[in-house]
Chains A and B, each alone.
Chain A
Amino acid sequence: MSVPDYQNDPAWGYYVYGITTADHKPVPDLPGIEAVARPFLVAEGDLAALVSMVPLEHFAEEGLEERLSDLNWIEPRARAHQEILAATLGQRTVIPLRFGTIFRDETGIHTMLLSHGANFRRVLAHLHNRLEWGVRLYVDPAQLAAQVAANNPRVRTLAARCQGKSGGAAYLLGKKLNQLLSEESTRLAETYAHTAHQMLLNCAVDAHASSVEQAAMKQEPTLILNGAYLVEHAQTGSFNAILEQIGSKLIGCSFQLTGPWPPYHFASARDEDSPHA
């Protein structure tokens, strides 16, 4: 089988998916960003870049913004980037690079691996045997309000005062009750988000989570937590068990789990342990 020699074609460059350790483990035998070119490793000492060849003109500055904004152009490439990295999960540790990092020749890759070597080694050690999971937590506002109405002492006291009132007094107390119900629902949603995050942290070694501001509870399930968790391979079962617990303990909550992902959120060394190259 004769394969065109893209590596010696100056019109083609090296698209880098991620950084891994140099070894003889197989790399994914999948179509690359440019489907005709399969991924391979470019090694420098103990480190290697996972790459495949791409036509440089596809990523040329001219017209790039249009191409990037075109879903038909970016979607298959984004998926290829993801699929190549995802196919390495469980076989090797990889630091995912951001989409669109290309070198004209191998020399550039060797220089990059040498100059960032210490940092890459530290991050690879942090990511070893660990997977990224995405968790989204939602609440159903109606169920949440029902919880608050049934269990919140302030809401119950006020509700009791409304009993037997009529006319203007009932109207004013009713308004106050709705206001309190809405405030306490928001507070309960925040507690849920915090509790769920703390529970997940018991099984995660690192996390990037954002709790979502609840200006107003909408009718449909409302997103209250969006997190990425770095979890030991061996803890995957426990992590799933905690999610099930969250779903059953926090009434009105539902979750969506995605992954395992290549560790995109954990690809950079944390500031505190990065001496800055």
Chain B
Amino acid sequence: MHELSPAERELTLLDLLDRILDKGVIIIGDVTISVANVDLVYLGLKVLLTSVDNAEKLRGNREQGNREQGNREQL
């Protein structure tokens, strides 16, 4: 078995939250973070975590999209 590089092994926080907040068995304990709560929080965190990374990309794509739209209208 070959060893994975540290980069490959590194767990991103998003990967982690994807699993521990969205997967795993739901057991009703005495204190359980309700599914609705977690869903909202999970989505919020996802947006928060991806926003920094993707803000640039999204902006880039939108501008590109607008340019394409503009070109099409000219034709």
Residues of A within 8 A of B (CB): 13, 16, 19, 56, 59-60, 64-65, 68-69, 71, 74-75, 78-79, 81-82, 95-104, 108, 112, 116, 123, 134, 218, 220, 236-237, 240, 256-258, 261, 264-265, 267-268
Q: Is the interface of B mostly helix, strand, loop or mixed?
A: helix
Return the contact of B41 from the options A16, A69, A218 (Cβ within 8 A).
A69
* Known A134-B15, A257-B8: A99·B37 in contact at CB below 8 Å: no
Asked whether A78 lies within 8 Å of B13 as measured between CB atoms, the reply is: yes
- Distance from B31 Cβ to chain A, minimum over Cβ atoms (Å): 4
13 more contacts with CB within 8 A, not counting A65-B37, A69-B44, A103-B30, are A16-B29, A60-B31, A71-B13, A71-B45, A71-B48, A78-B16, A98-B27, A103-B31, A134-B15, A220-B57, A237-B1, A261-B19, A267-B23
Q: Is the CB of A112 within 8 A of B29?
A: yes
21 pairs of residues in contact across A and B, judged by CB atoms under 8 Å:
A16-B27, A19-B25, A56-B31, A60-B31, A65-B41, A68-B41, A69-B41, A78-B13, A82-B11, A82-B19, A95-B25, A96-B25, A98-B20, A99-B20, A101-B26, A102-B29, A103-B31, A134-B15, A218-B61, A220-B57, A258-B11
A102 touches B4 (CB 8 A): no
Complex A-B, nearest 9 residue pairs according to Cβ-Cβ distance, in ascending order: A100-B33, A264-B23, A98-B24, A102-B31, A264-B19, A68-B41, A237-B1, A101-B29, A104-B30
Q: In the complex, how many residue pairs between chain A and chain B have their CB atoms under 8 Å apart?
A: 113
Interface centre among A101, A257, A267 (most CB of B within 10 A): A101
Q: Are the CB atoms of A264 and B24 closer together than 8 Å?
A: yes
Cβ contacts under 8 Å, B25 to chain A: 19, 95-98, 123, 267-268
- B23 near A265 with CB under 8 A, answer yes
Q: Cβ of B45 and Cβ of A257 under 8 Å apart?
A: no
**Complex interface: chain B residues within 8 A of A267 (CB):** 23-25
B24 CB contact (under 8 Å) in A71, A96, A104: A96
